[in-house]
Amino acid sequence: MSKDKFYSNQEEPNKSCFLAMRHMLLEFDDKITETVKYGMPCFCVEGKPFCYLWSDKKTLEPYFLLVRGNELSHPSLESGTRAKMKILPVNPLKDLPVSVINEVFSAALKLYK
């Protein structure tokens, strides 16, 4: 699946939300690049997976899936049943929580340096 096909296959309001999430990731740091792994957008830092975009199976709400989430501590992150990764859920009907996302990305990016 191509990067653009994932986004074009989404229904609104998730489509716009995923595109905004993608934009935030790509603008956050010039070391972040986008590819597709496991059929979902994968954002890498110097070739190493950093974050995926996906949606909850039950609620269908989008989320950032942080690869090294178990090394992060932030009240907005949820681990659920995951051992290593944590998610940052996003409500597609509200504005993105930019300051929270920036805090989480800043902390996560430090793990790759």
Distances (CA, A) of 11 to 26, 32, 60: 22, 26, 10
Mean pLDDT of the chain: 95
What kind of architecture, by CATH, is found in domain 3-110?
Alpha-Beta Complex (3.90)
pTM of the model: 0.94
Which of 88, 98, 92, 38 is CA-nearest to residue 68?
88
Query: Which residues, including other chains, have CB under 8 Å from residue 44's CB and lie 6 or more apart?
Result: 32, 33, 34, 35, 50
pLDDT at 4: 84
Share of the chain above pLDDT 90, in %: 90
Question: Residue 13 above 90 pLDDT?
Answer: yes
Question: Residue 3 above 80 pLDDT?
Answer: no
Which of 29, 34, 22, 27 is CA-nearest to residue 90?
22
How many residues are present in the chain? 113
pLDDT at 113: 83
39-67: average pLDDT? 96
Identify whether the C-beta of residue 4 lies closer than 8 Å to the C-beta of residue 12: no
pLDDT at 1: 61
Question: Residue 2 above 80 pLDDT?
Answer: no
